[in-house]
């Protein structure tokens, strides 16, 4: 039953995104200055606390910006920035950043063995599923299901997000994807979070 509810919720969310005006990447580039201070003009943040959004799935970017703007996803640093963005502004920005190329990252060699094991196989003894189940073997994500591209993401940002999920933070009671992540992260230790975040930073988009 939970699986059916999750599928239905994802379908409704994707349908809502599809109902928005189509994003124009050219218009988005002209509006991108509002995002540049934290995410960089091309979506490659140089500050590890802020996520890289270059190459992220367009529908995912659109949905997250709307959740933040509408108060469903708590990101205090962004509230003032997105508050006055229209749905069209968000669609245009999402189309622009989705078309950019994420810069590569590198994993800490000391963390690779544990991080790779968690990412590819999970930890069955603790009930932790493999990250590949949702995010793919190369970290490419699943845009139809609403799971983001994660390869190359700053390890610091990923650690912060996993800690928030472990603390039970979701983006509304009906948000299936963040609910899935809270269920996974609550079983992760600090060591595991650090390792898998480092491994993800070193992943590259599949060609």
Q: Please name each of the domains of the chain with its CATH number.
A: 2-98 (1.10.760.10), 109-201 (1.10.760.10)
pLDDT tens for the 207 residues of the chain, in order: 334 334 444 444 444 445 556 999 999 999 999 999 999 999 999 999 999 999 999 999 999 999 999 999 999 999 999 999 999 999 999 999 999 999 999 999 999 999 999 999 999 999 999 999 999 999 999 999 999 999 999 999 999 999 999 999 999 877 899 999 999 999 999 999 999 999 999 995 433
Decide: helix, strand or coil at residue 173.
coil
Contact 205, 138 (CB under 8 A): yes
> CA nearest 94: which of 9, 146, 33, 22?
22
Contact 153, 162 (CB under 8 A): no
Q: What is the pLDDT of residue 5?
A: 37
Sequence-separated (6 or more) residues with CB below 8 Å from residue 100 = 42, 43, 44, 54, 55
**Exposed, middle or buried: residue 199 (CB in 10 Å: 0-12, 13-18, 19+)?**
buried
Query: For the chain, where are the alpha helices, taking DSSP H only?
Result: 2-18, 25-31, 33-39, 58-69, 76-82, 87-98, 109-121, 132-135, 155-166, 176-185, 190-201
Provide the 10 A C-beta neighbour count for residue 2. Answer: 10
Single pTM value for the model: 0.88
Sequence-separated (6 or more) residues with CB below 8 Å from residue 197 = 115, 155, 156, 158, 159, 162
Enter the DSSP assignment of 8.
H
Q: What is the pLDDT of residue 1?
A: 39
Q: What is the pLDDT of residue 204?
A: 57
Instruction: Report the distance separating Cα 95 and Cα 29, nearest Å.
Output: 9
74 backbone φψ class: left, alpha, beta (φ>0; ψ -120 to 50): beta
Provide the 10 A C-beta neighbour count for residue 38. Answer: 16
Instruction: Report the distance separating Cα 69 and Cα 83, nearest Å.
Output: 5
> CA nearest 63: which of 187, 201, 171, 154?
171
């Amino acid at each position: 039953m939970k699986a059916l509810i999750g599928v239905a919720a994802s379908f409704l969310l994707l349908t809502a995104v599809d109902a928005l005006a189509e994003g124009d990447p050219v218009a988005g580039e002209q509006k991108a200055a509002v995002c540049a201070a934290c995410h960089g003009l091309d979506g490659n943040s140089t500050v590890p606390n802020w996520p890289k959004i270059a190459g992220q799935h367009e529908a995912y970017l659109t949905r997250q910006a709307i959740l933040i703007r509408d108060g469903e996803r708590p990101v205090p640093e962004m509230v003032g920035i997105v508050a006055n963005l229209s749905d069209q502004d968000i669609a245009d920005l999402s189309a622009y950043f989705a078309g950019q190329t994420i810069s590569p990252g590198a994993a800490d060699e000391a963390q690779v063995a544990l991080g790779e094991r968690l990412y590819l196989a999970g930890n069955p003894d603790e009930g932790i599923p493999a990250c590949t189940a949702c995010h793919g073997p190369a970290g490419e994500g699943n845009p139809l299901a609403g799971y983001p591209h994660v390869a190359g993401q700053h390890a610091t940002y990923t650690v912060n997000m996993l800690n928030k999920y472990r603390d039970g933070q979701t983006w509304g009671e009906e948000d299936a994807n963040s609910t899935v992540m809270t269920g996974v992260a609550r079983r992760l230790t600090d060591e595991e979070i650090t390792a898998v975040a480092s491994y993800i930073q070193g992943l590259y988009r599949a060609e």
